[in-house]
């Protein structure tokens, strides 16, 4: 399983996203290295299919599903919504759902 975390340096949320990702991998008993990919400048946005910081992909699919990319790419902060919760990083539950979905394929 390929796990990627895209971020930019000034993003205050990417480290929490990484912690949640690590916790979700442990809870799902999935042994996978997290490849951390820095998006250095706005020119990299299209090339790296960067939806915003932080972006997590599992086997090339955004954790919010393929439809997440339809919103377009941006060099900025990303917001995740899970029920009533809104934050700059995905919850452990959101990451676990994505891991379960991709692990079935």
What average pLDDT does this structure show over 54-77? 93
- pTM, 2 dp: 0.93
Report pLDDT for 105. 62
Question: How many distinct structural domains can be found in the chain?
Answer: 1
Domain range spanning residue 27? 3-103
Tokens coding 65: 């599903």
| DSSP bridge partners of 77 | 53
The span from the CA of 21 to the CA of 1, in Å, is: 13
What average pLDDT does this structure show over 41-62? 93
Report pLDDT for 37. 97
pLDDT digits (tens, 9 = 90+) for 67-101: 898 989 999 999 999 889 899 999 999 999 999 98
Residues in the chain: 105
The proportion of the chain whose per-residue pLDDT surpasses 70, expressed as a percent, equals: 99
In order of 14, 43, 50, 94, 104, the CA distances from 89 in angstroms are 7, 23, 15, 10, 24
Residue 32: give its domain's CATH number: 3.40.30
**Greater pLDDT, 104 or 80:** 80
The counts of H helices and E strands in the chain are: 3, 6
Report pLDDT for 66. 87
What average pLDDT does this structure show over 30-52? 93
């Amino acid at each position: 399983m390929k796990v990627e975390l895209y971020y930019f340096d000034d993003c205050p949320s990417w480290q929490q996203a990484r912690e949640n990702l690590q916790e979700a991998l442990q809870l799902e008993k999935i042994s996978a290295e997290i490849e951390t990919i820095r998006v250095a400048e706005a020119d990299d946005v299209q090339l790296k299919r960067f939806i915003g910081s932080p972006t997590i992909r599992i086997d090339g699919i955004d954790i919010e599903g393929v439809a997440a990319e339809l919103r377009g790419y941006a060099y900025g902060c990303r917001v995740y919504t899970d029920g009533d919760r809104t934050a700059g990083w995905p919850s452990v539950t959101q990451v676990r759902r994505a891991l379960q979905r991709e692990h079935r394929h």
